[in-house]
Amino acid sequence: MSGLSSSEIENGLRKLGVQAGDTTLVHSAMRTMGHVEGGAKTFVDTLLGMLGPSGTLVVPTFTFAHEAEDNPVVDPAADHSEMGIITETARLYPDALRSTAFRHSFAAIGKWSGVVAGNDAALSPFDLRSSFGVMAALNTKVIMLGVTYESSTSHHFAEFVCEVPYRQMISLNAKVRQASGKVVEQSMMDYQPKSEGGSYYGTRGPDFNRLGQMLEDQGVVNTAFIGNAAVRQFAMRDLLDLARLEAAQDYNVFRSPDGEPDNTTALKFGCSIDSPELIDGAGRAHAVEWCVKDVDKLILPRADV
């Protein structure tokens, strides 16, 4: 079966404005592109080639399985990423480094991988001294490949920076398996909603598309299609600047209207569609909002797999 080539992927990424030397955080849904020759490795290799030796690729390698464990052991070397095949593929690259976090770890490859991944495990990844703070300092560009802003963890970072009252830092006690194999006790911090079960507090829901569409209306988001995937790139700093401005007037800018938890902002670029029900490592059902050129060409997961 023929599919997208490396050169076609590169052309799409160039339309987004990807440049050598960039620090780039990628959120992705591989299947939205359609078939890719060589699979996820082709995408990762292509992007790394464009970023060059002075650039850095960062992917989320979040692990939710530990939330369902009575005695969790965080293992940066072995914990699988639950954020899609592109992230798991990048995590396994020989020169990839991975941060240590209860849920929100990152794998990084390239010039600044050591400072992005070399976080203090006692700090929340959203702390200004941790992974997100480093990425903001590096003027990181965020790519949303086939997913909407609803999958943008940078929006959670913006919530942290804006000190929204419906989320809080909580302390966790866990264990970490070090590179030597030794397991040590580790206190950690996590950033979670102030509600039972991890859902958003009250009668609202998350609406990260709202700020995302504001950014697009300002003309600071680059868009392109790569295969069937609708792809966006924006600067993390642009998001933070807009979020601080808007949240000063209404901190609910990150959330849907009161009493309308499922009412999220419709995006003007691409066609958005909810994925089939997915199960995370903690056994919880959820859906991801995909964004494509043609919904009819989206290759859905097989029910028998």
pLDDT for res 173: 86
pTM equals 0.95
Nearest alpha-carbon partner for 209 in 95, 304, 290, 294: 290
Residue with tokens 């919880």: 284
The type of residue at 100 is T
pLDDT surpasses 70 at 153: yes
Give me the sign of the Cα torsion angle 140, 224, 4, 272.
positive
The share of the chain scoring above pLDDT 70, in percent, equals 96
Nearest alpha-carbon partner for 133 in 142, 125, 121: 125
Q: Give backbone dihedrals phi and psi of 218, rounded to 5 degrees, phi first.
A: -80, -10
The two most distant CA atoms of the chain are separated, in Å, by: 52
Query: For residues 193, 194, 200 and 206, what is the CA-based torsion angle, rounded to 10 degrees?
Result: -50
Mean pLDDT of 265-284: 94
pLDDT surpasses 90 at 28: yes
User: Residue 1 — very low, low, confident or very high, per pLDDT cuts 50/70/90?
Assistant: low
Q: Where are the domains of the chain?
A: 6-67+75-163+204-297
pLDDT in tens, 187-198: 999 998 887 555
pLDDT for res 196: 59
Which two three-digit tokens encode residue 22? 């960039």
Q: How far apart are CA 212 and CA 283, in angstroms?
A: 29
pLDDT in tens, 37-80: 999 999 999 999 999 999 999 999 999 999 888 888 999 999 99
Strands 285-286 and 271-274: unpaired
pLDDT for res 198: 58
pLDDT in tens, 165-187: 999 999 988 899 998 999 999 99
pLDDT surpasses 70 at 216: yes
Q: pLDDT averaged over the chain?
A: 94
**Which range has the top average pLDDT, 164-178, 218-232, 249-263?**
218-232
